[in-house]
Amino acid sequence: MAKNTATPTRYCALCAQAIPPESRRRRYCSSRCAQIARRLVSRGFHVEVCRWRGCDRPVMAEPGQRHSYACCDSHYDKLRAEAERAAVNRDARDARAGVPVRWTRAERRAVARLTNGHCAYCNSKLRIRRDGFSGKGTPAELRFEIDHIVPLARGGRHEASNWVPACRSCNGGRRDALLHEWVAKGDSVRQPTLILQDLASGTGAWARDGQTGEIQLADRAALVRT
């Protein structure tokens, strides 16, 4: 099979048109675009990457514009629709929890420190930036999320004692199952290997309650694995 030597298409950060492959220009398609862009940058505009999943086209963002960068109307509309759906879900979650389900940057970082930046269920080393988020395009098993040990949908409270770091794979695979239900399911997308390990050894962070059969966080300090 012939080796693929084609360089990825580059797009002008100003007009979003493809830059011809033979061009030596990296950021802009023409000297005209480069010139206009220089003027905009001097007035506070900045080059960002389109936020739509899988799109890596550059965008000239307006001064003070944050987050909703899109390379074209179609991607902008998709971002807006997704943001609106997320807001509806968030409102429903807030209503269920009785408090806004949010974390400050300090809280996100404090939760990450509980496990020294690993998923509390599968031990995956999470990618966590200084702002406490993983960033666009992070693979699910590296993506840092905060999980409620007892899910809000099952009566759990939105408070620090109920938070652990989890990767997107575990959080998404678990959904609203209680921990013992998740473990019993056995066929979920991802198994909480650390919980299984602790239950088998009888020591560690996670333990089964002899009476109810439910799984609890028995030893917070043991969340940091050695």
Nearer CB in complex with Zn ion: 34/94: 34
Nearer CB in complex with Zn ion: 110/142: 142
Residue 165 CA, distance from chain mean position: 12
Question: Could you tell me how many residues of this chain bind Zn ion (CB under 5 A)?
Answer: 17
Give the interface segment with Zn ion, choosing from 34-42, 66-74, 144-152, 218-226 (CB under 5 A). 66-74
Distance of closest approach, residue 152 Cβ to Zn ion, in angstroms? 19
Closest listed residue to residue 143, CA positions, set 108, 178, 110: 108
Tokens describing residue 52: 């739509």
Contact 67, 51 (CB under 8 A): yes
Residues 162-191 contacting Zn ion, CB under 5 A: 167, 170
Distance of closest approach, residue 31 Cβ to Zn ion, in angstroms? 10
**Residue located via tokens 């206009």:** 36
> Rounded to an integer, what distance in angstroms lies between the CA atom of residue 182 and that of residue 199?
14
Q: Is 119 in the site for Zn ion (CB under 5 A)?
A: yes
Q: Is 29 in the site for Zn ion (CB under 5 A)?
A: yes
> Rounded to an integer, what distance in angstroms lies between the CA atom of residue 177 and that of residue 181?
6
Residues 71-100 contacting Zn ion, CB under 5 A: 71, 75
Contact 216, 224 (CB under 8 A): no
Distance of closest approach, residue 99 Cβ to Zn ion, in angstroms? 26
Distance of closest approach, residue 94 Cβ to Zn ion, in angstroms? 25
Q: Is the dihedral of CA 103, 188, 177, 79 positive or negative?
A: positive
Distance of closest approach, residue 155 Cβ to Zn ion, in angstroms? 23
Burial of 93 (0-12, 13-18, 19+ CB in 10 A): middle
- Under DSSP, the state recorded for 124 is P
Q: Is 149 in the site for Zn ion (CB under 5 A)?
A: no
Q: Which of 45, 69, 121, 144 binds Zn ion (CB under 5 A)?
A: 121
Nearer CB in complex with Zn ion: 14/149: 14
Closest listed residue to residue 142, CA positions, set 123, 114, 167, 112: 167
Distance of closest approach, residue 2 Cβ to Zn ion, in angstroms? 30
Per CB under 5 A, residues contacting Zn ion are: 12, 14-15, 29, 33, 50, 52, 55, 57, 71, 75, 119, 121-122, 124, 167, 170
